[in-house]
Chains A and B, each alone.
Chain A
């Protein structure tokens, strides 16, 4: 992630419309360029077409969950994006893995 937020692209992946809007508005207020996706499939489709510096990722998503999105991105060799889980429900015994912070 670049040191100055101005124009830095962030993707917010969140299935709850209120949370998605709240996170997006706050990041925009800090100067980030923010897009949102409502589920893992939308997120992967969006990331297939454009890049971003950071993904703010919910773990509990309908369809492909947050871990699935991270795994798919890693398998695709997508290394440019860091992923942050903003409200994780940590499954027992799970490890976030490289590129993922709780």
Chain B
């Protein structure tokens, strides 16, 4: 028993060390980019247009680091189990509509059509914040997958099924190799580091989705026929009692 406990502790320590190494490396990229932009501005004579490009680049690098800090804190809290997970009946359609409204502007700019076919009366049991984070991360992932193709579509639909509620998110994006369907939810897995044009993945979004779904007795799976074939994410929550279906 003691040997097993020691092995488990060693594994946790090793994972933490790996986590730190990975986190540090993730930060080095936007930091290197910031440094390069600033040094370029300091050492070269630039046109107003060139300066503007560099300033926009630096602002995007900062936004990227800020998003990473938020997600790292979120995932660290999840890892330590320090999440107070509420279980309440929540209307899926309303939660999805809020996130979609938030992302619509960006989708329009990238020529991505988001269609949403979720009827009223579908209630899931989840934590309101967790539900919001999960839907947002899944949709942001879909946007990042479609953006490099210069436009496309994201289709959301939902149905009640055997005491559960299933949300289906299909995108016409870059897809992935079918064998990567499980790996995509691991920490810092970025199957398309260049994916998303101006949008940067932190490699934490889908990891957080996976953890939050499991905390709430739900599931998530990812499917794709292959690179360039789009992707299909399916999220399943327990249905709230007394639901009309």
Binding site for B on A (CB under 8 A): 15-19, 21-23, 25-26, 29, 38-39, 60, 62, 87, 89
Verify A16–B40 contact, CB threshold 8 A.
no
Verify B25–A22 contact, CB threshold 8 A.
no
Binding site for A on B (CB under 8 A): 25, 28-30, 32-33, 36-37, 40, 44, 50, 57, 60-61, 190, 192-194, 197-198
B27 to chain A, nearest CB (A): 12
Verify B194–A22 contact, CB threshold 8 A.
no
Verify B33–A22 contact, CB threshold 8 A.
yes
Verify A17–B194 contact, CB threshold 8 A.
yes
Verify A26–B29 contact, CB threshold 8 A.
no
Q: A21-B57, A25-B40, A29-B44 are in contact. Are A87 and B193 (CB under 8 A)?
A: no
Cα of A29 to Cα of B40 in the assembled complex, Å: 10
Q: A29-B44, A89-B25 are in contact. Are A18 and B60 (CB under 8 A)?
A: yes
Query: What residues of chain A lie closer than 8 Å to B197, measured between beta carbons?
Result: 17
Q: A38-B194, A62-B193 are in contact. Are A19 and B36 (CB under 8 A)?
A: yes
Most chain B beta carbons < 10 A, residue from A18, A25, A26, A62: A18
* A-B pairs with lowest CB-CB distance, top 8: A22-B36, A18-B33, A15-B193, A38-B194, A19-B33, A16-B29, A62-B193, A18-B57
Q: A25-B40, A29-B44, A60-B25 are in contact. Are A19 and B194 (CB under 8 A)?
A: no
Verify A18–B61 contact, CB threshold 8 A.
yes
B203 to chain A, nearest CB (A): 12
Q: Which residue of A lies closest to B21 (CB)?
A: A89
B51 to chain A, nearest CB (A): 12
Q: A16-B29, A87-B32 are in contact. Are A22 and B193 (CB under 8 A)?
A: no
B26 to chain A, nearest CB (A): 10
Q: Which residue of B lies closest to A19 (CB)?
A: B33
Query: What residues of chain B lie closer than 8 Å to A29, measured between beta carbons?
Result: 44
Cα of A92 to Cα of B197 in the assembled complex, Å: 33
Cα of A28 to Cα of B127 in the assembled complex, Å: 52
Verify A22–B61 contact, CB threshold 8 A.
no
What are 8 A-B pairs at a CB distance below 8 A? A15-B193, A17-B197, A19-B29, A19-B36, A22-B36, A22-B40, A26-B44, A60-B25
Cα of A67 to Cα of B24 in the assembled complex, Å: 21
Query: What residues of chain B lie closer than 8 Å to A87, measured between beta carbons?
Result: 28, 32
Query: What residues of chain A lie closer than 8 Å to B192, measured between beta carbons?
Result: 62
User: Which of A15, A23, A60 is within 8 Å of B194, CB to CB?
Assistant: A15
Cα of A57 to Cα of B25 in the assembled complex, Å: 17
Verify A23–B36 contact, CB threshold 8 A.
yes
Cα of A89 to Cα of B40 in the assembled complex, Å: 23
Query: What residues of chain A lie closer than 8 Å to B60, measured between beta carbons?
Result: 18
Query: What residues of chain B lie closer than 8 Å to A39, measured between beta carbons?
Result: 194
Cα of A17 to Cα of B60 in the assembled complex, Å: 12
